[in-house]
Amino acid sequence: MSFTIGKNFRMSVFGESHGKCVGVTVEGVPAGTVINQEKIQEELNRRRPGQSHLTTARNEEDRLEMISGVFRGRANGGPITMLIRNRDTDSLHYGSTRGMPRPGHCDHTAWEKYGEYHDHRGGGFFSGRMTASFVMAGAIAKHILDDRGIHVLAHVICIGDIKVERYVSDSEIEENIHRNPVRCADPVLASEMEALIRKVKEDGDSVGGMIEGRIIGVPPGVGEPLFNSVESVISHYMYSIPAVKGVDFGTGMGCACLKGSENNDPFIIDGNRVVTESNNAGGVLGGITNGMPVVFRVAIKPTPSIALPQKTVNLDTMKECDMEITGRHDPCIAIRAVPVVENLAACGILDLVMTGSR
Amino acid sequence: MSFTIGKNFRMSVFGESHGKCVGVTVEGVPAGTVINQEKIQEELNRRRPGQSHLTTARNEEDRLEMISGVFRGRANGGPITMLIRNRDTDSLHYGSTRGMPRPGHCDHTAWEKYGEYHDHRGGGFFSGRMTASFVMAGAIAKHILDDRGIHVLAHVICIGDIKVERYVSDSEIEENIHRNPVRCADPVLASEMEALIRKVKEDGDSVGGMIEGRIIGVPPGVGEPLFNSVESVISHYMYSIPAVKGVDFGTGMGCACLKGSENNDPFIIDGNRVVTESNNAGGVLGGITNGMPVVFRVAIKPTPSIALPQKTVNLDTMKECDMEITGRHDPCIAIRAVPVVENLAACGILDLVMTGSR
Amino acid sequence: MSFTIGKNFRMSVFGESHGKCVGVTVEGVPAGTVINQEKIQEELNRRRPGQSHLTTARNEEDRLEMISGVFRGRANGGPITMLIRNRDTDSLHYGSTRGMPRPGHCDHTAWEKYGEYHDHRGGGFFSGRMTASFVMAGAIAKHILDDRGIHVLAHVICIGDIKVERYVSDSEIEENIHRNPVRCADPVLASEMEALIRKVKEDGDSVGGMIEGRIIGVPPGVGEPLFNSVESVISHYMYSIPAVKGVDFGTGMGCACLKGSENNDPFIIDGNRVVTESNNAGGVLGGITNGMPVVFRVAIKPTPSIALPQKTVNLDTMKECDMEITGRHDPCIAIRAVPVVENLAACGILDLVMTGSR
Amino acid sequence: MSFTIGKNFRMSVFGESHGKCVGVTVEGVPAGTVINQEKIQEELNRRRPGQSHLTTARNEEDRLEMISGVFRGRANGGPITMLIRNRDTDSLHYGSTRGMPRPGHCDHTAWEKYGEYHDHRGGGFFSGRMTASFVMAGAIAKHILDDRGIHVLAHVICIGDIKVERYVSDSEIEENIHRNPVRCADPVLASEMEALIRKVKEDGDSVGGMIEGRIIGVPPGVGEPLFNSVESVISHYMYSIPAVKGVDFGTGMGCACLKGSENNDPFIIDGNRVVTESNNAGGVLGGITNGMPVVFRVAIKPTPSIALPQKTVNLDTMKECDMEITGRHDPCIAIRAVPVVENLAACGILDLVMTGSR
């Protein structure tokens, strides 16, 4: 059992959804790194529930508490421990379905693994709320990456059947995703997505989505062949976000349908740098960055908590039965996952970068 | 830099395509485990080049040499080191393109990372030949899994635009993939795929493909929330195979387009077990196995080595130029990757299983 | 940089002496393990300063706060995070010697490593106060070990020139060390040690000491040859306690002077078990436990903070100078290290035991 | 089970005493590092049996075979795998004592851990012969350290009751240890030690010894507080050498008897560097190097294989009995351990140095 990841920039997560707090200890931040608590709070705010009518009604302040590792505003070289307290823990709705696993949820597998000892309230340590720890760690990672000219972007490219099919530029992403609650870089599609989410919510249903991540400015030579390939490491991080069911790079799953002459990226000269004309490789060749943006996509399943009646079983009687889930839930978790993907990808790429480009 | 993976069943890979050998050291095999060298050889033979007219003409015997860890036919509890020698190392073709990175290949990134010291011949340690080490380790893993009633299957489900769209049963996979050179469970589609590969080869081109992996018999409770989720670990392993650009689970990338009511798997009773009616989750909920088959897909890009002329740059003169790649290459590496996916997935799931289901 | 240790029972330490808190996250505690907060508090109390006239006057309540991992009095299977707040942080004395490294202290090396960013107040994360984290983790480890019939003892066997030279039984240790402030199993020598410590304190000096640890009830077969030998792992843990400069096992350093005929432990039969007549091996042969008590000794240097004038250098002027250290300090840290050795050894042996005896 | 150690300079050992080979895979050697096979062979020769009348008669050529990781005389950035074959494997003497554990040997614990599957011949992977892998890895580590101005020395300071009690200089060590078979820097004491070893051999007995290691030129700031202290890491490595029962640093075990005023090392100015007048700390304060030589001692028990009759038990009948061990054995393994301590310490310090001094 380990809630720890990373070799040189390491994060160790703790807490539960309805326990006292959700927190993270970050190791490997060089002594002297400026730790800007306001920036971390800003990232937390982006992930925080209750941001718009499209998210859960749970209202948490998510106020950052920093309890170690910072001295006079800078990293002191030791572990940095941060946490947010849980306050609005409305556990009422959770008692009733105990013993009746909710379809698509971890209730059943948690029971199989931890038995009655699992803190099931609000999903315990399976909760999406755990990702606040990724955001706190990521905010520090992004700061360190910034100093090296590396930037991470994330934006929604698909909600249900509404897809961004044209290329959106980095600046479109940076400018537009803060302007709409679905964090989509295309304003028109953003409105359609918003309408769709409102619709599924009214229907008592939920909907999945897809996020594209871009890591810009990574020098060539980061990552390794085989087990520490950029794809291996970044996908490992991404699949640590609850509800992620697919991760691919560049042409990704679609490369299966392509010919070599279509998928290969021709090398060209840009100033005095070797670059590729296209970026079908998603910035990674042989597991190693080639200097082009690292581009990946993350598929996020529809929220399993839906109001519609569903089939399940009663674990006490071992009979099949119907259930209806009450409580407050995000009709589309993908839109809240955008800052999570962005910050967690920052943690992953920083760990790779700190391991070295040569 | 690390060529090692796994916590409890650990593999450490070494060697190069045109060096002396490709090998692997496996740690964590319990003392007393029967080590059947013939079975390992059989798996090596499945991966070996020169198996059909659809694969490279490189002819290697790939004869297993076991140099430590086995005493009287059984694991002695120490590290098991195995290797295959390289013999048919035709390095002639590799000299000429030095300084001119081949599109889609690691030449450029390897140069960025290792400079002139990289053993570029045949791709060095980036070569697909390195996956023979995964197969040797995996053959041992599969044997241990067998004893626990766990089986891993892999089969081709897509080559170019030819896709297996119906459900193929486990027994169809087991019976059919050995009967055709493309390792497809559907005999009719297999013929079409074969024809397609022959066609792209004639055209001097190559084609991508997709492999589905299934892990059957994993008990519920394997894997962990967050960083050691089954998806995190299996995707980490899969992305260690050169040329893999996409990995997803269950409905995978497609879950972005689904509603919760479509994607949730209803729980039902099967005898005295709790199972799910559908398996959209691919056997994993909350990062933990639920007892259903773990189902994942691996997208493999078209072989970057193609005979058609391509644009690249001359690193000495920093000028753009055209290149033509000669030498012998697989027109579709996906079909040779089937035993690799199967055996490497076995290593990954065994590591998870050894970490415990509770 | 890592403040984490352990493979299966892992602890990750954070905090500083004069920051907000000292804490620890423990991973690997099986779901359902009873977590007795009173027992943990008791262990903290044993280590707490201000226990007798022989220890520093710093007065800390060291009240346990448990912020994750426990649900209804039992481990929930996730990370357990615990901390104690710092209250009586009298930093006054620390300002003055900044720039003048105290002999025998980490001031100089901390400066070399972390520069001005090191939280030097009270030693920052080098402080002996960090060992409170070992005690919190160890209290949980001891509980788990208890259930497996494994017990850890520690007692003072030497302070300055006063040495326990006779064999003291396990029960003498258990009964007597709580009855005297030096934690020595021999009451007569304990009085002499107490007098000696009082004397060096009056002289403005300090004195070193030695602690013997015994781990009783470890089944045969724990540990591994080479890198995970019991000695490798236990010494790694012990040397993580600030001020430890020697660790040996069984006849230890003295084995250099012995002959094989003197040092070998003859095997004999005890009931239906194979045991050894003597225990010169300290319970470990070939890196692996043999079922006899694991016996080791830990040498702890005299507190470097002494009132006597000492030679040092002024880092600003790069001139040699004299210094006198004021502030409150333990004249003999060895006596306070007893619960630390005991609890940290529990963490180490539990990690080895959880890795398995076979 | 793991035969692997190191974070950035990693070694993974394999093989058995009477199997096919003993080998090691080294990861983390920067691409381009010159790999001098003759130097590695020289180190192997220093450890090789049959060097003098004081060592075992087993005659092995110990010829280095390098099977991966080197391209045109330089590290290619991938894993470097090296091995020596076993040839003179006289297993005759080993059959007879099966079932009768030899006192002081790992026979009993190996049986407890691995059962009948352990390759007991010549000690299997518990054999001192495994340390040839440390020497191969260490020869590469020493080369890398050399380039950074770091040098490791090791010399015998005690055999039985003959002790080097005066300070011997670095140059005495370098010059003298190659001139006598006991590797002692003091020629007069070396002769006495030699006579003592000859005497115990004639008596059918064996004798222990102590080795001092010195690491010169380590910059200040290497190592970490707590778990990655220099002492934790170096002792972990040293206790991985079979037969080591004690490891201490600086004043070491003796610090227990000292006062602070005696043990503290005053800081002084040497040119423009801050150094300490004495080196009681053994070059490490707060777990971190202070720029003084890292000085440690390693106690090595007397060879357990002695010709004198000993008490043991018959595991089949569970009766006590007498045994006499025949076969060829070193009467004092400490003298052969000198190059092992030296090379393994090089691996340890290099791993720490690669992790960084800041």
Cα-based torsion angle of the residue sequence C29, C31, C34, C35 in order, rounded to the nearest 10 degrees = 50
Of the candidates B13, B240, B308, the beta carbon closest to that of A229 is on: B240
What are D113-164's pLDDT values in tens digits? Answer: 998 888 888 889 999 999 999 999 999 999 999 999 999 999 999 999 999 9
Q: Min CA distance, A288 vs chain D (Å)?
A: 14
Of C240, C286, C300, the CB nearest to D109: C286
3-state secondary structure (DSSP) of residue C294: strand
Any D CB within 8 A of C158 CB: yes
A1·C125 Cβ contact <8 A: no
Long-range CB pairs of A188-192 (<8 Å, 24+ gap) are A189/A162, A189/A163, A189/A164, A192/A162
CA D265, CA C108: separation in Å to the nearest integer? 12
pLDDT at residue A99 in the model? 83
Lowest mean pLDDT among A249-263, B54-68, C58-72, D63-77: B54-68
> In this structure, what DSSP letter does residue C309 have?
-
Coil, strand, or helix at residue D217?
coil
H or E element that contains C23: strand C21-27
Angle between helices B131-147 and B333-355 (to 10 degrees): 50
* Residue-level pLDDT at D246: 98
Q: Residue window 121-140, chain A: list those with CB within 8 Å of chain C.
A: 124-125
Is the pLDDT reported for residue D60 higher than 90? no
For B213-250, write each residue's pLDDT tens digit: 999 999 999 999 999 999 999 999 999 999 999 999 99
Quick: pLDDT tens for B97-108.
Answer: 568 999 999 988
For A275, list phi and psi in degrees, rounded to 5.
Answer: -130, 180
pLDDT at C357: 67
Based on C-alpha coordinates, what's the Rg of chain A?
21
Model confidence at C137, pLDDT cuts 50, 70, 90, reads very high
Provide the residue type at B327 as one letter. G
| Start-to-end CA span in chain A (Å) | 32
Which of the residue ranges A165-174, A233-242, C43-52, D39-48 would you say has the lowest mean pLDDT? C43-52
The label of the residue with tokens 């070998």 reads C264
Whether D85 has its CB under 8 Å from any CB of chain B: the answer is: no
Residue with tokens 């002996």: C128
Mean pLDDT, residues B321-327 taken together: 88
Which residue of A13, A76, A117 is in closest CB contact with C119?
Answer: A76
In sequence order, which residues have a C-beta less than 8 Å from that of residue A121 and are 6 or more positions away?
Answer: A16, A17, A18, A89, A91, A94
B31 touches chain C (CB under 8 A): yes
| pLDDT tens digits, one per residue of B268-291 | 999 989 999 999 999 999 999 999
Do C322 and C307 form a contact (C-beta atoms < 8 A)? no
Strand residue runs (E) in chain B: 4-5, 10-15, 21-27, 65-68, 70-71, 74-75, 80-85, 151-159, 162-163, 209-216, 244-249, 267-270, 273-276, 284-285, 288-289, 294-300, 310-314, 319-323
Range of the domain at C280: 4-355
The residue written with tokens 């209290």 in the block is C139
Structure tokens at D65: 């075979």
Report the number of distinct structural domains present in chain A.
1
Q: How many CB atoms lie within 10 A of CB D72?
A: 9
Q: pLDDT tens digit string along C9-32?
A: 999 999 999 999 999 999 999 999
At C182 the pLDDT is 96
Residue C126 near residue C16, CB atoms below 8 Å:
no
State ipTM: 0.96
Residues in chain A within 8 Å Cβ distance of C68: 14-16, 19-21, 23
> What tokens were used for B107?
């030449």
Give me the pLDDT at residue B251, please: 98
Residue with token string 């009773």:
B269
Q: Which amino acid is at C6?
A: G
Instruction: Identify the band that residue C352 occupies on the pLDDT scale cut at 50, 70 and 90.
Output: very high
User: Of C302, C294, C157, whose CA–CA distance to C233 is shortest?
Assistant: C294
What's the CA gap between B226 and B354, in Å, rounded?
A: 18
Q: What is the pLDDT of residue B97?
A: 56
CB distance B28–D113 less than 8 Å?
no
pLDDT value of position A253: 98
The minimum CA-CA distance between B170 and chain D, rounded to whole Å, is: 34
3-class SS at B344? helix
- pLDDT grade for A48, boundaries at 50, 70 and 90: confident
Q: Are D352 and D7 in contact (CB under 8 A)?
A: no
The structure tokens listed for B201 are 């080869």
- On the question of pLDDT at D334 being above 80, the answer is yes
D95-115 burial string, b = 16+ CB within 10 Å, else e? eebeebbbbbbbbbbbbbbbe
Contact check, Cβ <8 Å, C267/D303: no
Q: Is D7 on the interface with B (CB under 8 A)?
A: no
**pLDDT of A328 over the 80 cut:** no
CA neighbor of D265 nearest in space, from D250, D287, D254, D253: D250
Please identify which residue in the block is written with the tokens 């608590």. Answer: A37
B292-298 mean pLDDT: 98
Nearest CA in chain C to B78: C225
Per mean pLDDT, which range of A262-276, C38-52, C73-87, D246-260 is the poorest? C38-52
Give the tokens for residue A93. 């709705």
Q: Do B68 and D21 touch (CB under 8 A)?
A: yes
User: Which of C4, C10, C12, C358 would best serve as a mutation to test chain B binding (most B beta carbons within 10 A)?
Assistant: C358
* Whether the predicted pLDDT of B61 surpasses 90: no
Burial A205-242 (b: 16+ CB within 10 A, else e): bbbbbbbbbbbbebebbbbbbbbbbbbbbbbbbbbbbb
User: Is residue D317 classed exposed, middle or buried when 0-12, 13-18 and 19+ CB atoms within 10 A define those classes?
Assistant: exposed
User: Do the Cβ atoms of D87 and D19 come closer than 8 Å?
Assistant: no
Per DSSP, the residues of C63-117 read --EEEESEETTEE-SS-EEEEEE------HHHHTTTTSPPTTSSHHHHHHHHGGG
Q: Are A54 and A182 in contact (CB under 8 A)?
A: yes
For residue B273, give the CATH number of its domain.
3.60.150.10
Interatomic CA distance for residues D40 and A237, integer angstroms:
40
Indicate the range of A106-115, C34-43, D275-284 predicted with least confidence: A106-115
Structure tokens at C331: 């004249």
* B112 CB-side CA count, 13 A: 27
Q: What does the alpha-carbon distance between residue A182 and residue A172 come to, in Å, rounded to a whole number?
A: 14
Instruction: Give the amino acid at B162.
Output: I
pLDDT band at residue C97 under the 50/70/90 scheme? low
